[in-house]
Amino acid sequence: MNPRLLAPLRNSALLLALCAVTAACAPSELTRTDFCTRWAEAACTEEVVSVCQAPSAGDCRFSQRQQCIADLPNTIINRGVDECIGAVRNAYLDADLTAKELGVVLRYAPPCNEIFLAGAAGESCQKDSHCEPALRCVFKDEAEGVCQAPVNVQPGLRCDEPEERCTEGFFCDGRNCIAVLDEDAECQNDAQCDDGLYCDETCIEQLAVGDDCTSDAQCATGICYGPLDETTCVSRLRLSPSEPMCDSLR
């Protein structure tokens, strides 16, 4: 073969090798507009357009894209985008969103949390989603946790290293893993309270569907939703023309 023809092939092979060991071929930058365009296309399913009575799919996509751009936090990265968009499409597919699906479209719950550059190891946090995906929010006997690559510790054993956390049903009091607290016991964080409880100075029973709420942690379903000053715990949401979520879907 002509040596002049071989040169481009050698260059291509060299470039592929470099891509395998360096950041020379790193993913292109993820812009807010590009991401929100994809989000809007996923959200405006045929059923959503019909149920929300949007004039057209194009109108739905325009409104949802603008809402996405307005709501999206400033820092996003090109990681896990396809998985996030797929979860958004599945959530809106039947226009009937479960609590888990509402977590995705309203709170960027997994897998959509991966598009954000979150807390690195050693940074403070309130919940796992505040940390990078490989890390967890590890609590001791304080109101705030710390992002760490967790190491599980069995009941009764010491847990004073920063990365050590207790197995389910136990929490770290700063020294050892002890049983989680019952209702009305004084607490510093939700991890100290038994299942079905949250911490507000004391461990309190989580609220049921329809109860007034001010935060997701208060709800047994994990979702506190509604217009300002009228938020309640919800387990699912069926879109309809009168549902406020439809305002940005038509």
> Could you list the pLDDT tens digit for every one of the 250 residues in the chain?
444 434 433 443 443 344 444 344 444 578 999 999 999 999 999 999 999 999 999 999 999 999 999 999 877 899 999 999 999 999 999 999 999 999 999 999 999 999 998 999 999 999 998 999 899 999 999 999 999 999 999 999 999 999 999 999 999 999 999 999 999 999 999 999 999 999 999 999 999 999 999 999 999 999 999 987 899 999 999 999 999 999 999 9
Q: If you ran DSSP here, which 8-state letter would residue 72 be given?
A: S
Find the helix or strand (DSSP H, E) in which 89 lies: helix 81-92
Structure tokens at 151: 């190491």
Report the distance separating Cα 8 and Cα 248, nearest Å.
Answer: 50
Confidence (pTM)? 0.79
Per-domain residue ranges for the chain? 32-117, 120-182
E-strand stretches of 69-119: 96-98
Is residue 145 within 8 A of residue 139, CB to CB? The reply is yes
Q: How many CA atoms lie within 13 A of 191 on its CB side?
A: 26
